[in-house]
Amino acid sequence: MGEQHGVPASEVWGKEIGTEEIRGIPFRTYTERPRDIAGVLAFADRWGDRPHIVQGDTVVTFAGLRRAVDAKAVQLRARGLGQGDRVLLLGFNSPEWIINFWACVSAKAVPVLGNAWWGPAELADSIALLKPSLVLADSRAARSLPDDITVGPWACEISDGGGTEPDPRLADAHDEDDPAAFVFTSGTSGKPKAVVLSHRSLLAGLHMLLHITRRLPQQVDEATGDAGLHTGPMFHIGGIQTLIRAVTVGDTLVMPAGKFDPAEALRLIEQWRVVRWSAVPTMVSRVLEHPEVHRRDLTSLRSLTVGGAPVHSEFLAQLRAGLPGIEPRVATGYGLTENGGQATAASGKDTTERPGSSGRPLPCVELKILDPTEHQDGEILIRCATQMIGYFGVDDSPIDDGGWLHTGDLGHLDEENYLWITGRAKDMIIRGGENIAPAAVEEALAGIGGVVESAVFGVPHPDLGEEVMAVVVVENGVTANDLARELRSRLASFAVPTRWRIEQEPLRTTHSGKIDKKELATEARSELAATTGDAA
């Protein structure tokens, strides 16, 4: 098995938790812990020729991953990349994406996880902010890149044997507070923000999840490891969590060949005897509604983690009714990219007994509720070593001087320390697991000729959880089709409104003169409920 800094990896994943000052702030943290995510890759040697990545006809073993990563890291070093250099990864899920990620880490560069769904404007803004030393992009995502950007080789050497002799400099260690990855998130200001996560951030999250699931390296053997269906984008924080966990415990990552297709998901679960699946409710609903759901052998599926959108008791009932003979362990949780991912977890039992709860804090996570009142919940605050260093290039931070991350979400903790989320102070729209900042859509609309003013908000959708609605005051005969067509060149496809109300008169305002978006949203949701029969 691999070693980290000369210490066998199985000996540095302790269970004892203490308090340690990080940048002058006391955080709960494991006393014995790994400190460099590059060391996690060494676990691939433990799993050898077991399949690690599956997509279409491509199967990459753990040994093949190691060879491909070493070869690509040597290439990156030869291009002059070194400690701390930023490399923009822009692509959809693929074996190459995973290999390029690990190669950047091994070469001591910092992978910047671009959103492959970005439009040209969002991509140009992010490149201008980050000024990456190199861009690696697949052919599809590269179409949105500015013409003056030079793209490095996306392809990787995937072979069954042999390989390039690793550069000895690849063995140099990171400091645990060095940046490990940049992950983008939507902010209330509209433009995507680059969250800087350290090695400590990523490893602390992994350590806690392995601890509570009894999968610490010293607790597992060569029989450990399951096939997992991975349908979320790798460039989200959940993708990184899944990736580093899979290498550590020997999981096989089974990925759809392209856009999510419920028929393909059903086939892959049956073919690869998938044990666990992490998905947004939208994907699960589409699988349950597919005509083949009762004709496929899905008995291997034992664990289903649902996140990225609110999980309601009606959905859980649909899930259990749609998988006859199976009682999958449905787990939910709560977390933010700024917190390095998951902060709370609810077991399958919790989900059944407390539907709607987001579970209890993970071992090193502190939660508190800011300024609750008798009639209203307060803002959820999180303090944990998993949290980000900050937003790159932005001085403002949601983390206060005491180390508490202000989430912008409203909720409460019950007497048994279960978290209940009851609102989003940020008004973020969550469409099929994708976060959409209304301000970003409103800003894009403001740049279109004929638009006077607009208000953007989320409305319920039976499949996606929410969809984007825009109320827009226009002149000169501008139509909703005109606006949608123009927005497609300015925004990611999922952020373009799918419901419109076009007005000629000014929108109503509050006493302070601001557009009364709350009233507009309430009215629109009521009208939609009356039309569809759904609850507002």
Residues 403-418: tens digit of each pLDDT: 999 998 888 999 999 9
From the CB of residue 197, how many other CB atoms can be counted at a distance below 10 Å? 27
Contact present, 108 and 83 (Cβ < 8 Å): yes
Percent of the chain residues past pLDDT 90, beyond the cut: 59
Structural contact between residues 438 and 429, judged by C-beta atoms closer than 8 angstroms = yes
How many Cα atoms sit within 13 Å of 241 on the Cβ side?
23
Q: Give me the residue label for tokens 């966990």.
A: 245
Q: How confident is the model at residue 535 (pLDDT cuts 50, 70, 90)?
A: very low
- pLDDT confidence tier of residue 215, bands split at 50, 70 and 90: very high
The average pLDDT across 199-211 equals 96
Instruction: Give the residue from 151, 201, 194, 149 showing the smallest Cα distance to 178.
Output: 201
Measure CA 528 to chain center. 30
Q: Which tokens sit at 341?
A: 């991912």
Residue 173 pLDDT class (50, 70, 90 cuts):
confident
Q: Where are the alpha helices (DSSP H) in 213-328?
A: 237-249, 262-271, 281-288, 313-322
Q: What is the pLDDT of residue 122?
A: 86
Transcribe 60-100 into DSSP letters: EEHHHHHHHHHHHHHHHHHTT--TT-EEEEE--SSHHHHHH
Q: How far apart are CA 1 and CA 39, in angstroms?
A: 11
For residue 49, which amino acid is it?
A: D
Q: Is 58 left (phi over 0), alpha (psi -120 to 50) or beta?
A: beta
Helix (H, G, I), strand (E, B) or coil at 262: helix
Q: Which amino acid is at 353?
A: E
Rounded to an integer, the average pLDDT of 4-23 is 74
Higher confidence at residue 192 or residue 42?
42
Confidence at 7, pLDDT banded by 50, 70, 90: very low
Taking the CA atoms of 392, 396, 402 and 404 in sequence, report the sign of the dihedral they define. Answer: negative
| Cα-based torsion angle of the residue sequence 372, 375, 376, 381 in order, rounded to the nearest 10 degrees | 20
pLDDT at 64 over 90: yes
State how far the alpha carbon of 512 is from the alpha carbons of 3, 241, 517, in Å. Answer: 61, 44, 13
Q: Note the pLDDT of residue 12.
A: 81
Scored b (16 or more CB within 10 A) or e, 52-78 reads bbbbeeeebbbbbbbbbbbbbbbbbbe
Query: CA 385 to CA 343: how far, in whole Å?
Result: 11
* pLDDT of 74 above 60: yes
So what's the pLDDT on residue 5? 39
Q: What is the pTM of this model?
A: 0.82
Torsion of CA 102, 104, 105, 111, to 10 degrees: -100
Distance CA 114, CA 123 (A): 8
Domain extents in the chain: 429-532
DSSP character at residue 515: B
Q: Which two tokens stand for residue 215?
A: 């999968």
CA distance 407 to 529: 29
With b for 16 or more beta-carbon neighbours within 10 A and e for fewer, the 483-519 pattern comes to: beebbeebbbebbbbeeebeeeeebeeeeeeebbbee
Please write the tens of the pLDDT for every residue from 459-513: 999 888 899 999 999 998 999 999 999 999 889 889 999 999 999 988 887 654 5
pLDDT category of residue 379 using cuts at 50, 70 and 90? very high
C-alpha closest to that of 234 among 354, 343, 327, 98: 98
Write down the pLDDT at residue 70: 94
pLDDT tens digits, residue range 455-469? 999 999 988 889 999
Mean per-residue pLDDT over the chain, rounded? 87
**Annotation: CATH topology of 429-532:** GMP Synthetase; Chain A, domain 3 (3.30.300)
What integer pLDDT is reported at residue 424 of this predicted model?
A: 67
